[in-house]
Amino acid sequence: MSVVLTKAQPVTEVEIIDERVPAPIRRLVDLARAVTTIETHEQRTDVGQLHAKLGAERRETARQQKEDVELQAAIKRVDELRSPYTLTLKTLEDWETFISKKLSAYDKAEMQRARERQQAAIAKTEVKNDAIVAKSEELGIKPVLKAPAVVVAPPKTVKTDEGQSSSRKTVYVFRIPGVGPDEDLAKLLGSDPRLAKIDDALFVLNVGEIKKQVKSPALHAHLRAQGITIDEEFDYNSRG
């Protein structure tokens, strides 16, 4: 096929040029759309000239845009109108992040204390149940065992009277000791000594598979055995 510069090729709806584009530019685009395969030096010259004209029109349009006083005034006005919203959004996002960190610090500490209190409650109940069993055997009756008290951890969701809510989601973040946060794990070679414990048969350092398994606490012991560190983090989202 040769280059055709006089007859446009069929176009799809997506390729139709908006009528707001000036007619001379639309004619250049029609010529560009008609270009298929360059086969001769003459055609190469024609297409090169077309490329130059397109570039010149683009630069001229950009210059006109910068010099359009009415347009620049409108852009300035839009920026002025947008500025309070941008500033307010940034302020709210910053303070949401600040509060999320405070919530996370408290929840982590409180959940650790809850686990410790729960273990203490279990141990205390076991002592009581041992005494109950011994006494029941002595009396020849069936023991009635006690259940440990359930220690309540911080709630996952808090709601306001207006129906808004703040929810906590647990996410697991993994890292491989010695590998920096800016390093691309997918590009590390299997011979890298930092990956010595990684099960190549399972992972071949398949980062996607690691991320998938990290989401399942039941697999954490298996991952940690391979030198992968898993940290529990909290993500907070608000709705309403």
Q: Which long-range CB contacts under 8 A does 124-128 form with residues at least 24 apart?
A: 124/148, 125/149
Give me the percent of the chain exceeding a pLDDT of 70: 86
235 vs 101: CA distance, rounded Å: 9
Per-residue pLDDT, averaged over 98-121, amounts to 93
Indicate the pLDDT class of residue 99, thresholds 50, 70 and 90: very high
Confidence (pLDDT) at 196:
67
Per-residue pLDDT, averaged over 38-67, amounts to 94
Indicate the pLDDT class of residue 157, thresholds 50, 70 and 90: very high
pLDDT per position as a tens digit, 70-97:
999 999 999 999 999 999 999 999 999 9
Where are the strands (E) in the chain, listed by range? Answer: 157-159, 165-175, 229-239
**Mean pLDDT estimate for the chain:** 85
